[in-house]
Structures are given as C-alpha cells and as structure tokens.
Amino acid sequence: MKKKSLCIDIYEVEDENELSPDDIKLIHLARKMTFNAYAPYSEFYVGSAILLENGEIVTGSNQENAAYPSGICAERVCVFSASSQYPNVKMKAIAVAARNPRESMNYPISPCGSCRQVLLEFEHKQKEPIKILLTGEYGKVFIITKAEDLTPISFSSDDLKRLLL
C-alpha cells in the first residue's frame, strides 16, 4: 500500500479590506443575496455572485422546496444563470455567503459536493481557474484560487471520454 497526500492552499483574510475592490464588491453582493434566498425549512440563507470576464456580475440565492431534492443551492443558481445568459464568457470569481437568523455567522461556509462539481465542470470548460471567495454574514474570508482545489479527486469529462473509448 502506498500513501499519497493531497495539499491545497486556502488563503484567509480577517479584514475584507485586504481584498481587491472587485472581490469586496462580490462579497457584498453575495451577502446581500442571502436576503433573496428562499429557505423556510433550513433557515440557512445563501447568496452568491459571479464576476465574468466581460465585467458583468451575475447573482443567485438558494431556493428550497418542501420536496428537498427539488431545491437548488445559490452557487448553482448563479453558475447556471451566468452560463445561460453569457454562454461563452469565462467566469473569473465567485463569492458565496451565508446567513442564519438563529446564529450569527461570522465564519466562511463551503459549497456542497454538487456545487463543487458544477464549479469544476465550468472551470474545465473554460480552461481557466475560477477563484472562490467564501464568507459568512461578516468576518473572515477564505480564498481558494481554483475550483479544482475544492475537488482534488474529481470526476470530469475526461473520465467520460475514457469510458467511451
């Protein structure tokens, strides 16, 4: 048996003013979008904002449903909306924020597995990294320089191509 280790770099800033103006704007929009979320069951309100290469920003929020599998996360709302509105424009960065009325969220949240897979898919499609900014209602921000780092052992279109050969 051979042991292999995986290592990713996550950058952390305590003060968002250490970030670029574009990153600060994305974080503020993601936090604002938590108020557009429909989350009556979990009360976990998530917002997201994507900066596109053409300078456009697309936003999204999570949308729950009493039939839980029918809901969708803020990240996927945002990515799918950006892809449908601007199909050939690359995604530079996405900010994701969360809010819960029962508990102050001053810590970064992380995308679920499905959202990680979707971010990875679009990163592979555009052949350029998508920077990910993670935060809560306020406080520190985690920065991941590429979606691939969130899904180090992943399934991609390359795997499908190998299966179809």
- pLDDT value at residue 165: 61
Domains and CATH numbers, the chain: 20-158 (3.40.140.10)
| DSSP one-letter string for 33-87 | HGGG-B-TTT--EEEEEEEETTS-EEEEE-B--SSGGG-B-HHHHHHHHHHHHST
Convert the pLDDT of each residue in 133-154 to its tens digit. 999 999 999 999 999 999 888 8
- The two three-digit tokens of residue 137, written as one number: 């209602």
What are the backbone angles phi and psi of residue 50, rounded to the nearest 5°?
-115, 130
Phi, psi of 131 (to 5 degrees): -75, 140
For the full predicted model, state whether its pTM sits above 0.75.
Answer: yes
Is pLDDT above 80 for 164? no
CB-CB contact of 147 with 123 (8 Å): yes
Q: What mean pLDDT do residues 87-110 have?
A: 95
Picking from 29, 86, 84, 88, the residue whose alpha carbon sits closest to that of residue 61 is 29
Share of the chain above pLDDT 70, in %: 98
- For residue 80, CA distances in Å to 1, 25, 26, 84 come to 41, 21, 17, 6
- Per residue in 49-85, pLDDT (tens digit) is 999 999 999 999 999 999 988 999 999 999 999 999 9
Instruction: Summarize the confidence of residues 39-45 as an average pLDDT.
Output: 95
Contact 76, 114 (CB under 8 A): yes
**What per-residue confidence (pLDDT) applies to 145?**
97
Q: What is the mean pLDDT of the chain?
A: 94
Give the pLDDT mean for 86-92. Answer: 97
The catalytically annotated residue of 75, 121, 123, 148 is 75
Indicate the length of the chain as a whole number: 165
Known active-site residue 75? yes
